[in-house]
Amino acid sequence: MEDVRHRLGSNLRKLRQAKGLSQEAFADEAGLHRTYISDLERYARNPTITVVDRIATALGVSIGDLLDDTPSSPPQNPGE
């Protein structure tokens, strides 16, 4: 069984990249540090539910999308 940290990290990376955001740009948008985002994507951290909510909000997805086996695509920003 895949660890929830692996699902979160993988989904975070996929969804962030789908929005065309670097770790640094996304971290700024989410109000987190870039190294924290990097740690999450490398499965090195156990974030609080508050942090997961901030990440989901910044990506424009539900918390469930971050934890699902197959996340949905984030909404595209108009004009991109």
Contact 52, 66 (CB under 8 A): yes
Q: Per-residue pLDDT for 52 more than 90?
A: yes
User: 51 is in which domain, residue-wise?
Assistant: 4-67
Average pLDDT over the chain reads: 89
- Chain segment 3-27, per-residue pLDDT in tens: 899 999 999 999 999 999 999 999 9
Q: Per-residue pLDDT for 61 more than 80?
A: yes
Q: What is the dihedral of CA 32, 36, 41, 42, to 10 degrees?
A: 180
Inside any domain, residue 49:
yes
Residues contacting 50, CB < 8 A, separation 6+: none
Total domains present in the chain: 1
CATH of the domain at 48: 1.10.260.40
Inside any domain, residue 23:
yes
Instruction: Kindly report the pTM of this predicted structure.
Output: 0.83
Inside any domain, residue 9:
yes
d(CA 33, CA 58): 14
Q: How confident is the model at residue 80 (pLDDT cuts 50, 70, 90)?
A: very low
